[in-house]
Amino acid sequence: MAIDALCFIGISRFGYELDAEVVLREFDTEGISTAVVAPMHPPHGDMATVNMELARIVRNSGGRFLAAVRVDPWDAAAAVEQVTGAVTEGGARALFLHPDEEHFRINDVRVRPIAERANELRVPVVVATGFHCVSEAVQVGRFAQWCPDVPVIMTNGGQLNISGLGQFDAELALRLPNVHILTSGVYRDDFLERTVKTFGADRVLFASAAPQFDVAYEKRRVHQVHLTDAERDLLLSGNAERIFGIGEVAR
């Protein structure tokens, strides 16, 4: 069974939505046991409320969802406290940051307290990456230096570029040992294969990023890449188990 390292639940201010029951049915069809889920940017903009709602959905999911707390760095100290509360009391297993939707630059010094709190709490950080000016891979790399003891995981292979021009910056960021990538939306087989070969299969995780991307198609993407069975197992589940402590849920 596979683990989806990132999908989104709820209704987004930006015109998309995904219901927990709907995605679980799709996971059943696609052989996905568990997913790390983040809330969407809500129409009302109140992150604390959507994090609480997500925590309720996660509690009722029978262990199939793990929460990623999502905060808006413009909430300053309150954002840092939301991270702390969600991890220490709410059981969140990851922090999710979306520089494009929350309109901040990932390597802005105002984000640093959030990175440092994640580091203290030993909670991995997933960053929506590849967005021009706010979350280019090298900018995420700078952020990753502020939380060196936790995995920093870039969505979309660290890029959103159909010429492949983002690959070079993604590889620069991957030179930092705590930087990882998600497979969501990566159209270049050779980039994923090269990343595994150069940086190790333990640095790449399958994610659908649904509803932005299509669950079945994104899972097939991982099966299409030319890897050994052991490498593919790491991408599909082993890395997520290790990074998000998913085995601990079962225990």
Partner 1 sequence: MIIDMHMHLDDVPSLGWELSAETCIRAMDEAEVDSAVVMGIADLPGGTNPGAMELIIDACDRFPGRFYGFIRLNPRHRDESLKLLARAVGELGFRGLKLHPVSTLAHPGEPATIALIQAAGELGVPTLFHCGDEPLTTPLSIAPAATACPDAKIILGHMGGYRHVDEAIDVAERHPNIILETSAMPYPEKIREAIDRIGADRVIFGSDGPVSSPALERQKVVRAGLTEEEARLVLGGTASTLLGVS
Of 215 and 246, the one with the shorter C-beta distance to partner 1 is 215
d(CA 67, CA 95): 9
Of 83 and 192, the one with the shorter C-beta distance to partner 1 is 192
- Cβ 46 to partner 1 shortest distance, Å: 26
- Cβ 181 to partner 1 shortest distance, Å: 15
**SS3 sequence of 90-107:** CCCCEEEECHHHHCCCCC
| 8 A C-beta contact, residue 208 and residue 231 | no
Of 16 and 59, the one with the shorter C-beta distance to partner 1 is 16
Point out which residues bind partner 1 (CB under 8 A): 130, 156, 160-165, 185, 187-191, 213-214, 216-218, 220-221, 224-225
d(CA 89, CA 2): 27
Identify which of 203, 159, 204 has the alpha carbon closest to the alpha carbon of residue 185. 159
Of 175 and 226, the one with the shorter C-beta distance to partner 1 is 226
- Cβ 89 to partner 1 shortest distance, Å: 37
d(CA 117, CA 6): 21
Question: Tokens 């188990």 identify what position?
Answer: 241
- Cβ 188 to partner 1 shortest distance, Å: 5
